[in-house]
Structure 1
Amino acid sequence: MLKKNIAPIFALVLIIIFFIQPEIVRSGAIAGITLWYKKILPFLFPMFILSNILLQYSLLYELLEKVSKISKKLLGSAFAIIPYIIGIISGYPSAAVAIDSMVKSNSINQSEANYLLYFTNICSFQFISAVVVMSMLEDKSLLIYVTIPHFIGAIVLSSFFKKDFYITTGTKKRNIIKHVSFNKAFSNAITKSIISILTICGVIIIFSIISEYILTFIPTTYTSNITDIFIGLIVGALEITNGCNVVSSSCLPIEVKLILINFLISFSGFSIIFQTITVVTNFEIGILKYIKTKFVYGIISAFITVLMLIIM
């Protein structure tokens, strides 16, 4: 009974908050829109359009045929390299959009799509370098301590699920993509990209309001490192940008900051998890398994960070 009514109960709680504390709703919504307008729209929307156009043609798949054997051996799928590279370039949830397009074109099936989603739907290099390292941590020398754990951690994560994937889909034959005119491909890409980017906007606004409400219960002066860690994890579990900002602004040692930030970026937060769910329309995501996988991804990235801090 409770499980079936989680969504309406959640919506009802938010509506009550809207009535009781409208100023929190207003400030949270403005923060969410600002984040979307300044950080998401300029980078993701053009990439959504271009990747959607590209994935409607067979050219990319043909070019990657030469490395398909390497990709299949290393990552478990001949097409894994496509969303992985798109993820590095444009970040969450661009890889999910690419995977969804591949399912629609019958290049991959639902089982393969879920497998690829686990480790290719990753944070962009640009977000890590420009926002997290340069803007928040303000030290470009720390870039390797965030990029390596995140991107290598994704490949490590893939090895945990490769065996099951081979059993279910390793011998499936893929269909050839039919040719479409540029006008149709461009129109389809624009339509899907607009829907995706506006959906992401809505998700970001809602989670920014929730984060703003939670922050009202947090004292302005921190009393301990434990408090800083707790606040960073709670806020970051909802939305990684706010969470990384809280961690980087804290009085924690830089080593602890790097470990927490790597965990948060790889876990991605429920805001991005829901963004991913909303942009996928052509296959069913195993939501609970996806959340668990993202948590494991966060642990792997944090562990790699610890190893790097010890060795380097």
Structure 2
Amino acid sequence: MISIIIIWALIVLFILQPGVAHDGAEAGAQLFVHALLPYLLPYIILTQWLLKIPSPRKSTRSWKRYMKAYILGSFGGFPVGAVTVSEMLKNGELTRRESGFLLAACHAPGPMFILGFVGTELLGEVSAGWKLLASIHIANLLFFLFTLLLLKKEQKTDETKHNHMDNKTTNSPFLDSVKASSSVIMLVATTVIFFSSLGNVLTSVISTIFTVDLGITKTILLAIFEMTSGVQSATDHFFTNPVFPFIIAAIISLNGLSIHMQVFVISKSVNLPITPYVMSRAFSVVAVPTILYFLL
């Protein structure tokens, strides 16, 4: 009942403020095309292609499988980690429990996005992008080590027992990778545009009802709903503030509902546990800005 009320309330808001909703959707579409698509699509296709090539012999060594998941998943951008772990679960390379923890550990923005868009365009220097990227991966690796400790018992008792889901193979792994990548890209585009529009509408409503700072309100709401729009808003309103780099780090670590929705949809398709992922997000929001503070 509550869900229905919220949905109808949002429908009414969108009808009453079509211009604001349009501006938010347009901004989200532009950010997707300019900041996400060029950095995300090539890596997703290559990662999917690699995962769909039939392997004559799957490694029984846990650490090799975990490192494969981390390297492929953590350097491709959101939500490549979820795609990689889900695909490895389908291929029988990971158990469901392993996949749940690796979903949390193998979750990071792409290097091209951080160095190119955030570092060069937002922070104004590539070196700042490198330090932010290092902070994100240091936090991820700490959680990854925590993951390995939790999975230690399973390595001893269930090292060769893996779930093998029905994952049909064909003679065209490249074409399969393009097909799979297109659905992921559509999911990313849909969530980015929708949550950008929703953030804009709610910002307008709150600013009208309450006496609040528009810049702060817009940045907070967009950070909650859509990460890329959030960092762009933070740049527009806090660029000269000394804490600006740490605001950017916190927003990227928070991810926003848009990215969480992408991960939830992908993980739901193979029934992955979500609790470790939620724990890792809470850890990263605190850890990444803290590590960046020491690096800067």
Please state which band the TM-score falls in when normalised by the shorter chain. 0.7 to 0.9
Shift of residue 266 of structure 1? 2.0
Q: Decide whether the 8 Å contact of 1:100 with 1:281 is kept in 2.
A: no
- 2:98 maps to a residue whose letter is E
For 1:304 and 1:90, the matched residues in 2 are separated by 22
Post-superposition Cα deviations, 1:101-150, rounded to whole Å, max 9, x if no partner, equal 11111111211111111121211111111111111121233223311111
Shift of residue 157 of structure 1? 1.8
For 1:13 and 1:287, the matched residues in 2 are separated by 29
Q: Following superposition of structure 1 onto structure 2, how do residues 35-46 of structure 1 map, counting pairs within 5 Å?
A: 35-46=31-42
- Unaligned 5+ residue runs, structure 2? none
The secondary structure found in structure 2 opposite 1:48 is helix
For 2:95 and 2:52, the matched residues in 1 are separated by 16
Give yes or no for the alignment of 1:241 onto 2:237.
no
For 2:86 and 2:294, the matched residues in 1 are separated by 35
Q: 1:146 to 1:203 in 2, by over 3 A?
A: same
- Unaligned 5+ residue runs, structure 1? none
Give yes or no for the alignment of 1:258 onto 2:258.
no
Q: Decide whether the 8 Å contact of 1:112 with 1:169 is kept in 2.
A: no
Q: Decide whether the 8 Å contact of 1:83 with 1:96 is kept in 2.
A: no
Match of 2:197 in 1: 209
For 2:238 and 2:35, the matched residues in 1 are separated by 26
Normalised to the residue count of structure 2, the TM-score between the two structures is: 0.84
- 1:145 maps to a residue whose letter is K
Give yes or no for the alignment of 1:197 onto 2:181.
no
Shift of residue 223 of structure 1? 8.9
The secondary structure found in structure 1 opposite 2:93 is coil
Post-superposition Cα deviations, 1:18-60, rounded to whole Å, max 9, x if no partner, equal 2211112222222222222333333323332222221123559
Q: Decide whether the 8 Å contact of 1:157 with 1:300 is kept in 2.
A: no
Aligned match of 2:139 in 144, 153, 157?
153
Q: Decide whether the 8 Å contact of 2:25 with 2:196 is kept in 1.
A: yes
- 2:148 maps to a residue whose letter is K
For 1:290 and 1:132, the matched residues in 2 are separated by 24
For 1:289 and 1:304, the matched residues in 2 are separated by 21
Give yes or no for the alignment of 1:28 onto 2:24.
yes
- 1:30 maps to a residue whose letter is E
Q: Following superposition of structure 1 onto structure 2, how do residues 1-312 of structure 1 map, counting pairs within 5 Å?
A: 5-6=2-3, 8-59=4-55, 77-168=63-154, 171-174=158-161, 180-183=169-172, 185-216=173-204, 217-218=206-207, 232-251=219-238, 255-287=242-274, 289-309=276-296
Q: 1:92 to 1:279 in 2, by over 3 A?
A: same
For 2:143 and 2:217, the matched residues in 1 are separated by 26
Shift of residue 281 of structure 1? 5.0
- 2:14 maps to a residue whose letter is F
The secondary structure found in structure 2 opposite 1:182 is coil
Number of corresponding residues: 290
Normalised to the residue count of structure 1, the TM-score between the two structures is: 0.80
For 1:169 and 1:17, the matched residues in 2 are separated by 52
Post-superposition Cα deviations, 1:239-267, rounded to whole Å, max 9, x if no partner, equal 11122122233346654122221122122
Q: Percent identity?
A: 21
For 2:163 and 2:195, the matched residues in 1 are separated by 40
For 2:69 and 2:237, the matched residues in 1 are separated by 34
Q: 1:160 to 1:228 in 2, by over 3 A?
A: farther
Q: Decide whether the 8 Å contact of 2:101 with 2:277 is kept in 1.
A: no
